[in-house]
Structure 1
């Protein structure tokens, strides 16, 4: 594969949602501040082409990234900005994740007109989420809740709950609401109750590995602490062969030379919960160690059931 000559204008690919565009403009602004000209180019992904279909039913690991990856490999864009939690643990050959900028606080939040907490939600309340991870952890703490599917961008999901009353509450990523300045009434879900998705709150910048500006972009955008922490989380998820849409939570912090990781696997009905922690200097080794601990506890049974259900076995 031949290297592309440095372009006068960097073309930055992104999904077309409001949140994705805000994230892309944040990265573009930092590059412009260092003298680059940047064109932001929205690209429609599978998730946007099938807006009403359940994410679990689509069951495609590169649901949010495939079209952007293809545009990178064809040389139509120079870089792509993703929410890191949407990127499969195995990226296509020829593409590198060159930078993980500073991470937002990754917790999930409960959005409701009444500002319910998990404890104060009424008995049997309807809670909306499209995430198996969120569903499983909610039911582990509150098996009386009725968890219902919801799709759409952030504004759509908030409207469905706050204005239209489709459910008493919805669970969303707090970082997404914060990035677009959304003032939806919400309360933070503590990690003891709902552990975030791997990579939640972090962005990732993807480029072709042979792009002549890859190292420069990394130098300008990468936050070493965020990168080390998310490497541990993604190594855990990869070792569990979990993909992006399974009931796995994980959150790591880089503390000096060490990374400390907490991982959790919960059955979809919430009945079984497995949790493990680990720390060390090698992020990938920490992630694999936590995954091994979870598997030895029995987490593989839960993940195997999810895979069999999706394959129709």
Structure 2
């Protein structure tokens, strides 16, 4: 069998490097030689505009896609929630690692504001819509940058709090003692999961990555992303989805929100695990037929 040093492409933020090193350690334990290749992504460079204004799906993954197509790296490690539901031609999923905490959490400077007026920061349309759905009197401001930058911006501001993915803060030991677990907020599809991609003709890397795959995590995130793909068709929208498996039961909750958070179209179902094929599509169709089609058109009209 051919042997080669696997070049692992990653963004250069602390969290991205932690994720890449995790994959590196797993591959080296299996006897593979590896090297990390950090790359700066456009999403990390342009921080003065909201993500949806940049108009690029996969803004954090595109730079690594290009590096892979140019043969500068062999595999790339991503936070799966940042990855577009359709991968570039020639690049395929190599492994979905075991999922971490999928919840969103609120970092705050005291909780008195929750019952009055407050200002919350997030760069996510999904988080913004769900926050306004629950706290319609609050203001939500845009927040961009990697985890460390966003935490610093919160400290330096007069905002009451900011929303983060629990997994990201846990991975790099930045989760403070004081936070609120937003267990009512439906996470982004595949939140807390890491995805490793490779070129579809690279059998050496694909065989190596196969051993890192976590079956249950993979099934769950695939259904969530199927739901997302069917709903949005390549447009950024406030969509949450979470699937879990308990024994032979598969639980799914998904929702589409209006940008102002006033409208919410939700689906919550439990089926047998064996019936999971195309379940994400079926759930998305329920949302679309329940007013979701019209809501998506409204969202697209505003964002385009």
Fold-level similarity (TM above 0.5) = yes
- In structure 1, the partner of 2:137 is 144
* Structure 1 vs Structure 2 CA RMSD: 1.8
Q: Tell me, yes or no, if structure 1 residue 126 matches structure 2 residue 122.
A: no
SS, match of residue 213 in structure 1: helix
Among candidates 229, 235, 241, match of residue 220 of structure 2: 229
Unpaired segments ≥5 residues, structure 2: none
The SS at the match of 1:147 is strand
Match of 1:25 among 7, 21, 27: 21
Q: Is the 8 A contact 2:166 2:175 kept in 1?
A: no
Query: 1:23: Cα distance to partner?
Result: 0.6
CA positional deviation for 1:213 = 1.8
Q: In the alignment, what sits opposite 2:287?
A: 294
Q: CA deviation at 1:62?
A: 1.6
In the alignment, is the contact (CA less than 8 A) between 2:12 and 2:40 conserved in 1?
yes
Partner of residue 274, structure 1: 265
| Unaligned segments of structure 1, at least 5 residues | none
Look up the SS of the partner of 2:144 in the other structure: coil
Aligned with 1:31: secondary structure?
A: helix
Equivalent of residue 208 in structure 2, options 217, 220, 223: 217
Q: CA deviation at 1:218?
A: 3.1
Tell me: CA distance 1:284–1:242, structure 2 relative to 1, closer, same or farther (3 Å). farther
Q: CA deviation at 1:245?
A: 3.4
Spell out, residue by residue over 1:218-258, the C-alpha distance to the aligned partner (whole angstroms, 9 max, x if none). Answer: 33210000000001001111111254731000000133455
Output the TM-score relative to the length of structure 1. 0.91
Give 1:287 deviation, angstroms: 0.1
Note closer, same or farther for the CA distance 1:58–1:7 as it changes in structure 2 (3 Å cut). Answer: farther
Give the Cα–Cα distance (whole angstroms) in 1 for the partners of residues 67 and 252 of structure 2: 34
In 2, Cα distance between the equivalents of 1:39 and 1:170?
A: 35
- Distance, in Å, in 2 between the alignment partners of 1:292 and 1:221 is 33
Task: Give the one of 147, 167, 184 matched to 1:175.
Answer: 167
Per-residue deviation, 1:10: 0.6
TM-score, length basis structure 2: 0.94
Q: Does structure 1 conserve the Cα–Cα contact (< 8 Å) formed by 2:98 and 2:214?
A: yes
Distance 1:167 1:244, change over 3 A: farther
2:44 corresponding residue in structure 1 = 48
